[in-house]
Structure 1
């Protein structure tokens, strides 16, 4: 038993890609070793930290002069090892799992969790896929242990998803979420879909349309000031695609007094214009919603639907 304890104690300090000691961990788990429980929980925490790092990497540009497939590979290895080091010190998730699973200390449950760690440690799959795998394995472990921690696990998973968002994404979402929810009530379009479109049109708030005097138009959706618009207007340079080719133009855009007004006008536009009827009808699916907007002529960018779908499903996931 002493040798098993030594093995599990050392596991979290080893190279993150070294999974050779997983067999020893599972053997210790079947023997009911408390050290194995702690180590498995720590490895689980390390995977969550690694997924958060991975998601933040994906949310930042990676097309610089120094970026290559080789640099990305070494960055991935660095993130994995960093996750191990962070989890070794602990952020609280491992301790929570130990408390929940120690109530019954079911060795079979721990063995299930260890197998999940081994498969996820290979680095296969996307962020959401790995998260789903871990959550399913953990739920099975809890069920086998007879614990009542489903609610706690769900909270931990949601917190990890939210924590995986890049800071500028969280800031943008927190600032505008309430306005998006109000517009959602009027259109039936999920608030997340509208936030995604506002993010795409405004570059996460970094490229908002401004007047020549620098005043903010609060126009988050790039809505132009057509002949029937009676409100304030600003002129700005924009990129339009004609026959698939980008062209720079100066256009007139609607200006609002607040972001709330921008969301209200956007909701009114989609709800009152007949060409967006199919968009509203397909608002239950991100890809269908994005494709519907592009087909209805909302934007001239030929890749608009793909970009919008990616933002909704990846940056705003969770």
Structure 2
């Protein structure tokens, strides 16, 4: 076991080892950052597991302080095991802090883009905002479960069609039905412009936003009203917001900070989506030849609308759910 791994394990089990971490930070700041980031992730995971325990009904039998202590110890080990994985919360925090460390050095470089996309240059949130956003993404499904709702998706654009289908078919479709009713007029207006059926547009908005329950937020916590997960490219001059989202690189999911468009209303979101479909040549085939949900979904994926390799199949299922709700 190397020195960093040994220190990491020690901090997990002995708070006094924080002094050793401080010493390590003066000798090798980046190694100390990685250890501290993993500790943050482990503590966060412990709180998540603790909240999950609290949201679960107790059996009442064999429940006492000893079993509680045993569960707490087990959860601590689970948190340690789940933390520190490549691409996880700790990894992202460490990367962000290391960038800031390099920038703070005399003659240090400026922040480089997190995404390799030519349209994305990172001028995003501070470390505190970044951590808060990551915490929100991780904790929202837990809070939803504790409140008796189905869990929203992990990130915009990552809604599982099967989850939406189960919600709509399981007697808990009120949220989805309200979403369809709320956005029907805006979808029909966009459909009149593009020729894309309104149900397809509602389905995609539902897929990207988790039926409105997982919208992209502004820095102040208000909704950006961006129902379609449209990023802010170089030509966008309107308001924007930076969030952590899931992107796929060579089929591998990664958490990245991306810049998205923000609107004054969801109706503006539908109108801007219509302009995007009509104004970008790569979507010409989608607009002209999408007669079924499957053709529309596959056309969007082929045109590069999303990086998720399973985007088309997920989107098709959500659109069919939206169609049934629209017809009911």
Q: What TM-score do you get using the length of structure 2 for normalisation?
A: 0.47
Max radius of gyration: which structure? 1
Q: What TM-score do you get using the length of structure 1 for normalisation?
A: 0.48
